[in-house]
Structure 1
């Protein structure tokens, strides 16, 4: 047995989130949102915030760990880390960093968090400005030098080409993407926290919605939201001393394929979500197979990313996508692969994946608004089609 593993070394013992808001509608500054989510996670774990000695985040989070520690009155900050790379590809990687710090003795209680108040800062996804390339930019360097001169600037534009290639190569129909969107909206109707709670989506509404960039219609694209979410991690030895049952980290993996700079259109493997090597290492650490996974929370920047992610994590072969991706198969509690059971990014909130980790924990705890029966293994897939990407697998007490 390889001792160099995070399997069953740490557990999530508390989760917290603020109210979620539409883009620009948060009454609180982003830093206050972060504090509220952290305090809610501490309350869930039954601990004082003074017990925290580490923070981890990702996606260039603007809320500095030292400032958070000062505001919370934390006696000693022992760990702070941020996953390198933009976007939501680092969600699970940030959890891995926190877990590694605990397993390595660098910290005892680490909070992983994400806070967003996009209306208070540069609007994400607003053409070239989202990447720092405004009209006054004299030169474009790095990976973005490839697509920007041709007008492929927004994430939807850049990712649509990859998904279209995959769909053409494997004869995937638009109905597969539609099923992913319908499943998220279906689950949101039972989740009062979801921004799309009370706003169901029908096949007819989906089909009538406008194209954003083919193959993405309006309902294939994530929302933009304000809010914050956080989780509390401790060592497995301590995990049974908290109010909730432990959600053990079985495995986590992050990285990128060979020559796969972030979304580059020159990569050898073009039609990919970039999980081929990550998924292999994830399953090796977790010591489970796709058939062992009871529920999946897959990051929906766009439904096409979910399609590629699920295939690359081995839930079906690409040629089987049309049969696998149906509303019946993706719906809790009885579907073959319950997907995004809180409503996900399409219908609950676009919290850069943190709400998906929280939903994974709730499924392990048996507290989801769309609970799947006897969940022992839950997967979270982060940020498809960016690089680096990451995934994690959580397990119940039954996996020990």
Structure 2
């Protein structure tokens, strides 16, 4: 099973999830503070025990967080770039800080608050510049419009069908149906999916994730101290980051190689993660895959070796990602059906699965893969497990 784990998640905290903008008049700092305090309490610790912070690039003000939480002894506060792509990389930062003996308790933080500016219109929010002017000329104002080009190319190259995208969405709805925190709990039929308005051909309304507000936080401590905490530890088997010019600025950029253009950009980080942990796809019991758009679930299944390149469509259509399938994907409903907090809900689900407390518990789950989003590099991913 690879190296012995050096660190573990011992605390998990979250705010309620809100439809975009409805978290106001709370500020994003208030949301973060509430999530951190809940995570610290879940770990059976005091806020004064926190000596490190880890983020990913989503506009957090480290000084304000330290000030508002009243932190007195922060000796490590670092950020992974790559927006949602860096989400799992926070666990890498925390693991490195803990395993080197630098820190005792690191809090990993992620949040979104879409008041005034929608994440779904991110490309249009940026000022025009020489490196992004193509999007303005082509009318690609949001990530979904840009990703539609890769989705259509995957269909052209491999015969992937819209029915496969539909299955990703329907599977997420089936999982969300039992989860009170989910926004989209109503079952979805194939006919309903096909009748939905097209937003960016070949992607319809249901292929796009929710736009929500919220904050989540996780406390990471040393593996040899983790069993002293109240909750069952969830060990970080390994976390990896990888950047490559083949992927560059992700699907916001059309300079990828042909191979990268039909992927989710995760091939190299998958290779690194499996090498680091000594695991293979066959060792993964639950996959929490970043799913802000349904085609990316199919591409990530290919990138991380659950099926061969081009076979993701038929693999999904076989029922393989359902709760009783070969590899359950996003048993919480994911971004498509539960809530979108830039991947943080996926870490929460992995922790709950490995604690044995998940709403849709996968029987015998001992390992969970968590992937960062296919955003600008570095790409990140982590494998968590229930034993050190």
TM-score when normalising by structure 2? 0.94
Q: Once the 2 structures are TM-superposed, how far is the Cα of residue 253 of structure 1 from its aligned partner?
A: 1.3
Indicate which of 179, 191, 210 corresponds to 1:223.
Answer: 210
Q: Deviations over 1:349-382 (max 9, x none)?
A: 1000011011001110011100001111100111
DSSP-derived class of the 1:251 partner: strand
DSSP-derived class of the 1:391 partner: strand
DSSP-derived class of the 2:35 partner: helix
Q: Contact 1:305–1:385 (CA<8 Å) still a contact in 2?
A: no
Cα distance in 1 for residues equivalent to 2:331 and 2:297: 14
Confirm whether residue 371 of structure 1 aligns to residue 358 of structure 2.
Answer: no
Indicate which of 252, 257, 266 corresponds to 1:275.
Answer: 266
Aligned to 2:142: 154
Q: Deviations over 1:295-330 (max 9, x none)?
A: 111111101111111101000113432332037322
Aligned to 1:204: 191
Q: Deviations over 1:120-151 (max 9, x none)?
A: x5322336442234xxxxxx133x23433322
Q: Contact 1:10–1:102 (CA<8 Å) still a contact in 2?
A: yes
Q: Once the 2 structures are TM-superposed, how far is the Cα of residue 67 of structure 1 from its aligned partner?
A: 2.2
Confirm whether residue 108 of structure 1 aligns to residue 95 of structure 2.
Answer: no
Cα distance in 2 for residues equivalent to 1:163 and 1:396: 35
Once the two structures are overlaid, the 10-residue window that deviates more, 153-162 or 286-295, is: 153-162
Q: Once the 2 structures are TM-superposed, how far is the Cα of residue 169 of structure 1 from its aligned partner?
A: 0.9
Cα distance in 2 for residues equivalent to 1:154 and 1:100: 34
User: What pairs up with 1:306-317 in 2 under 5 angstroms?
Assistant: 306-317=297-308
Q: Once the 2 structures are TM-superposed, how far is the Cα of residue 385 of structure 1 from its aligned partner?
A: 5.0
Cα distance in 1 for residues equivalent to 2:54 and 2:351: 18
Cα distance in 1 for residues equivalent to 2:277 and 2:67: 36
Indicate which of 267, 278, 296 corresponds to 2:287.
Answer: 296
DSSP-derived class of the 1:374 partner: coil
DSSP-derived class of the 2:221 partner: strand
DSSP-derived class of the 2:23 partner: coil
DSSP-derived class of the 2:320 partner: helix
Q: Once the 2 structures are TM-superposed, how far is the Cα of residue 9 of structure 1 from its aligned partner?
A: 0.9
Cα distance in 1 for residues equivalent to 2:381 and 2:320: 22
Q: Deviations over 1:137-182 (max 9, x none)?
A: xxx133x234333223321111111121122111111111111111
DSSP-derived class of the 1:118 partner: coil
- 5+ unaligned residues in a row in structure 1: which ranges? 134-139
Q: Once the 2 structures are TM-superposed, how far is the Cα of residue 84 of structure 1 from its aligned partner?
A: 1.6
Q: Once the 2 structures are TM-superposed, how far is the Cα of residue 200 of structure 1 from its aligned partner?
A: 2.4
- 5+ unaligned residues in a row in structure 2: which ranges? none
Aligned to 2:9: 12
Once the two structures are overlaid, the 10-residue window that deviates more, 151-160 or 345-354, is: 151-160
Q: Contact 1:61–1:114 (CA<8 Å) still a contact in 2?
A: no
Confirm whether residue 383 of structure 1 aligns to residue 365 of structure 2.
Answer: no
Q: Contact 2:207–2:293 (CA<8 Å) still a contact in 1?
A: yes
Q: Pick closer, same or farther for the CA change 1:185–1:386 going to 2, 3 Å.
A: farther
Q: Once the 2 structures are TM-superposed, how far is the Cα of residue 206 of structure 1 from its aligned partner?
A: 1.0
Q: Once the 2 structures are TM-superposed, how far is the Cα of residue 65 of structure 1 from its aligned partner?
A: 2.6
Aligned to 2:94: 98
Q: Contact 2:121–2:143 (CA<8 Å) still a contact in 1?
A: no
Aligned length: 383
Aligned to 1:125: 120
Confirm whether residue 394 of structure 1 aligns to residue 384 of structure 2.
Answer: yes
